[in-house]
Amino acid sequence: MDLTVSLIAQQLVAGISLGSIYVLVGVGLSLIFGLLTIVNFAHGALFMTGAYVGTYVFMKTGNFWLCLLAVPLATGMIGLFAERLLIRPLYGRGIDYPLLLTFGLAYVLMDVVRMLFGVQGERFDTPDALQGAVDIGVGMFPLYRLVLIVFTAAVMLALWLFIEKTRYGLIIRAGARDAQVLRVLGIDVSRVWLAVFGMGSALAGLAGLLAAPMRGVSPEMGIPVLVEAFVITVVGGMGSLGGAIAAGLLLGIVVSMTTLFAPEMAELSMFALMALTLIARPQGLFGRKGLLS
C-alpha cells in the first residue's frame, strides 16, 4: 500500500467526521447521566428513530434542512414523554431500575419502527447539495463529511454557550452539582430533568440523522451505537461533557486509523482503547475520582 502523508491526513479527517457522530451521541448520553444519574439504554434506539424520522421527512419533502429541524424535535418529544411517564416514577428506587426500563423502551422503539417501515432497512442518499468532494489541501475529501464536522462543531458551540452563558445553563450546571440545594433555592428540579432528558434524546436523534447517509438505516443500527456511546463514556469519564467530546473524537480517529492499517481489527480497536483506559485510568480521561462510588 502506498502510505503517503496525504492518505494518513485524509484518514485523520475521516476519523474526525466519524468522531463527530460519536461526540453527538456521547454528549447526549453524558448530559442525561450528569444530571439524572441515568444510563439511558434507549439512546441507541433514539439514534435509530432519528435516522428513520429523517428518512421519512426527506422522502416526503426532499429538504434536508427541514430534517435537521424535524428530527431533534421528534426524538426530543419521545424523550420528554419517556421521562415524564415512565422514568419519573422510578426516581429514588435505585439506579438499576431506569436502566432496565430504558432497555425495554429500546425494544419497543425498535419494533415500532419495524412495524412502520419494515425490517429491511433503507438507503439514505446524501442530499444533492452536499454531494461531491472538495480539496482540503491534502487531497479531495467528501463534502458531506466536512459539513458534518462543521455542523457538529456548531452544535457543540451552541450547547456550550447555552450551558455556560445562559440562566438556564446555570440551573443545569447547579443541578449537576447538587440537585437538593437547587430545590431548596426554589427551582422545580423535575422540570430541569425533563428538559435535559429531552435535550439528550434530541442530540441522539440528530446524530442518527447525520449518520444515515454514511451508515444506511436499519432497525438494529442503534445497538452498535449504544456500545460505542458506552465506550466513549468510559474513556471520557462519566457525566463529563468535555470528556465525551475528547473521547468521541479520539475514538473516531483510532477506529479510522485502524481501518487504514488493519481493517479486520477496526471493531476491536475501540475495545482495546476502553480496556487500556480501565487499566490506566478507571475514572476516565476527564472523570472525577469517586464520582459514582
Partner 1 sequence: MSDQHSAFVRSVADRAARHPAAATILVLALFPLVFPFHTLAINILLFGLFAAGYNITFGYTGKLSFGHAAFFGGGAYGCGILIANYQVHWALAVVFGVALGGLIALLIGLLATRTRGIYFAMVTLALAQCVYFLFFHASSLTGGDNGLRGVNVPRVALGPISIDLLDPMVKYYFMLSLVGGAVWVLARILRSPFGAILEAIRENEARARACGVNIEATRLLSLVISGMVCALAGALNAINLSTVAIDSLSYHTSGLAMMLTLLGGMGTFFGPFVGSAVFLGIEHIVTGYTERWQLIVGIVFIVLVLYFPRGIWGSILQRAGK
DSSP state of 125: P
Work out how close the CB of 68 gets to partner 1 at its nearest, in angstroms, rounded to a whole number. Answer: 29
Q: Which helix (H) or strand (E) holds 140?
A: strand 140-142
Work out how close the CB of 103 gets to partner 1 at its nearest, in angstroms, rounded to a whole number. Answer: 6
- Rounded CA-CA distance 54/68 in Å is 8
293 in contact with partner 1 (CB under 8 A): yes
Beta-carbon contacts of 170 under 8 Å, excluding residues fewer than 6 positions away, are none
Q: Which is nearer to partner 1, 15 or 284 (CB)?
A: 284
Beta-carbon contacts of 9 under 8 Å, excluding residues fewer than 6 positions away, are 138, 139
Q: Which is nearer to partner 1, 171 or 229 (CB)?
A: 229
Residues 27/156, Cβ–Cβ less than 8 Å: yes
Q: Which of 103, 117, 151, 160 binds partner 1 (CB under 8 A)?
A: 103
Q: Which of 221, 226, 249, 250 binds partner 1 (CB under 8 A)?
A: 226
Work out how close the CB of 275 gets to partner 1 at its nearest, in angstroms, rounded to a whole number. Answer: 6
- Rounded CA-CA distance 91/85 in Å is 12
Q: Please, which of residues 5-64 interact with partner 1 by CB under 8 A?
A: 37, 39
117 in contact with partner 1 (CB under 8 A): no
238 in contact with partner 1 (CB under 8 A): yes
- Rounded CA-CA distance 241/246 in Å is 9
Q: Which of 90, 163, 214, 285 binds partner 1 (CB under 8 A)?
A: 90
Q: Please, which of residues 167-206 interact with partner 1 by CB under 8 A?
A: none
Helices (H), the chain: 5-36, 43-61, 64-81, 96-117, 143-165, 167-177, 179-184, 189-215, 222-236, 241-261, 266-280
Query: How open is the CA angle 70-214-204, to the nearest 5 degrees?
Result: 40
227 in contact with partner 1 (CB under 8 A): yes
For residue 277, what is its C-alpha cell?
A: 483506559
Residues 242/101, Cβ–Cβ less than 8 Å: no
Work out how close the CB of 147 gets to partner 1 at its nearest, in angstroms, rounded to a whole number. Answer: 30
Work out how close the CB of 199 gets to partner 1 at its nearest, in angstroms, rounded to a whole number. Answer: 20
Handedness of CA 170, 174, 179, 181 (dihedral sign): negative
96 in contact with partner 1 (CB under 8 A): yes
106 in contact with partner 1 (CB under 8 A): yes
Stretch that binds partner 1, among 91-99, 177-185, 195-203, 204-212 (CB under 8 A): 91-99
234 in contact with partner 1 (CB under 8 A): yes
161 in contact with partner 1 (CB under 8 A): no
With left for phi above 0 and alpha for psi between -120 and 50, is residue 212 left, alpha or beta? alpha
Q: Which residues bind partner 1 (CB under 8 A)?
A: 37, 39, 86, 89-90, 93, 95-97, 99-101, 103-112, 114-115, 223-224, 226-227, 230-231, 233-234, 238, 264, 267-268, 271, 274-275, 278-279, 282, 292-293
